Amino acid sequence: MKVCIIAEGCYPYVVGGVSSWIHSMIKLFPNIEFNLITIIADRNLSGKFSYQLPNNLTEIHEVYLQDVDWAGRHRLRKKSVRLNKKEFEALRSLIIGEDIDWITVFNTFSRKNISINNLLMSPDFLNITKEFYSLRYSDITFSDFLWTMRSIYLPLFFALKYNPPKADIYHSVSTGYAGIIGSKALAMYPNSRLLISEHGIYTREREEEIIKAKWVLGIYKSIWIKQFHKMSKCAYHYADLVTSLFEQARSLQIELGCSREKAIITPNGIDARRFMDIATKDPEDWHINVGAVVRITPIKDIKTMINGFYYAHKKQPKLKLWIMGPDDEDPEYAMECRELVKSIGATNIVFTGSIRTIDYIGKMDMTILTSISEGQPLTILESFAAKKPCIATNVGNCHGLINGEGDYFGEAGIVVPVMNISEVTRAILKLANNPSLAKRMGMNGYKRLMAKYRIEHMEEQYKKIYKILANMSGIPYKEEAFKLTK
């Protein structure tokens, strides 16, 4: 049996929650052959892997959302694209968003002579764009509108043009471009099956990014957002099963177009055994250590964390903040965070760079996460495994993890509003000045983890899912294929 994982912008280039999850999933089933389709911006990242790849990952295929067919120095010399009537209507349905004929769209982009550059510059694309403009956007400058439409459809066309290799099960780790490639795979190989696992709800995350983006202005924000909605609806339609991490996320998927019957919940899980003998705090360390195991990126809102800690430190000088994670994903933002520390005169803040979580987390007194968007953060579960309380913003499933969902273990930290410096300060001081409370909350988190969020729970769930999909398509397999790594 062959499983093809489709991921966008993460594994194996970036170390982090989703990447770690994919890596663990592949290692979990050593008797299953995995392929990987990984979607990245361009060829600059090609082959720059941050993981030692598992032996059962036999092929990696890179898909670039910008490539030489459009902007490269060696433009392809191809004849202009001519669409037949059915192809034209399918492209029109895609752009205008009326009952999209995805099958014809997939078939059109499977043509060997298709050139994305020529299609975007073709009379067909121009005429469809003119119609779309006349219907809804005639009060803005057409030339700007046309070029924006080309920039919106450029990455989607590259995803559509890619022909995935044959596999028994396609496992897309989001909707979006990964979902489009998974959907096209099902159109190409009808006996295969498609599973979508969303750690965060892709459409909502892109919507938040577009709303905040400075490079997208005015009405163009809504056009971008509608485009991501179209892509997710396509993925939900073609998927056989769609997983989410918690009930609120499942409800969002259904609201965005996923059939209720397909949507199931599969919580994250971590290997609690890794945290059994971790290094603990040196008895001579008099600091009250606050640990943030986090990528230094805008979505993690490190600046609110720094400012909140700064005001807490003014009232409790024993506090020390450890920001532990890679800073190379967004070097400009990482530099801004370091400059912020200098400009406000904050002390006792350490940037460690990438670490092994188990080497540090046992030395912390609490952990903190100030993200503006999350799914079900592994860093909170790791905090619980180390019996540490966590301060986290009220995003994703953070509230459920910290305060519980249908259990009676009690609070395992403090939930704070997004981008609220004063509440972050208050939460840090509350735990710093009440060590017995912090210890009790840490133990509550540990009990919750052991009851619901151990990796064994997640392993068994995905074993069942893969078996269900294999049986649905009549894929011959041996029981040994689902033997889990111990």
Cβ(178)–Cβ(199) below 8 Å: no
d(CA 182, CA 284) in angstroms, rounded, equals 54
Domains within the chain, CATH numbers bracketed: 2-265 (3.40.50), 273-452 (3.40.50.2000)
473 backbone dihedrals φ, ψ, rounded to 5°: -100, 0
Sheet with 33-40: strands ordered across: 57-64, 33-40, 2-8, 169-172, 193-197, 241-244, 263-265
323 backbone dihedrals φ, ψ, rounded to 5°: -100, 110
- Closest alpha carbon to 133 in 120, 123, 146, 124: 146
Helix (H) or strand (E) holding 37: strand 33-40
Tens digit of pLDDT at every position of the chain (486 positions): 899 999 998 899 988 778 988 998 999 889 999 999 999 998 988 888 989 999 999 999 999 998 876 443 444 455 567 899 999 999 999 999 878 999 999 999 998 778 899 999 999 999 999 999 999 898 899 999 999 999 999 999 999 999 999 999 999 999 999 999 999 999 999 999 999 999 989 998 899 889 888 888 888 999 999 999 999 999 999 999 999 999 999 999 999 999 999 999 999 888 899 999 999 999 999 999 999 999 999 989 999 999 999 999 999 999 999 999 989 889 999 999 999 999 999 989 999 998 889 999 999 999 999 999 888 899 999 999 999 999 999 999 999 999 999 899 999 999 999 999 999 999 999 999 999 999 999 999 999 999 999 988 888 899 999 999 998 877 776 676 677 665
d(CA 286, CA 51) in angstroms, rounded, equals 36
- Closest alpha carbon to 364 in 403, 399, 402, 320: 320
376 backbone dihedrals φ, ψ, rounded to 5°: -130, 90
Q: Which residue has the tokens 């492209």?
A: 91
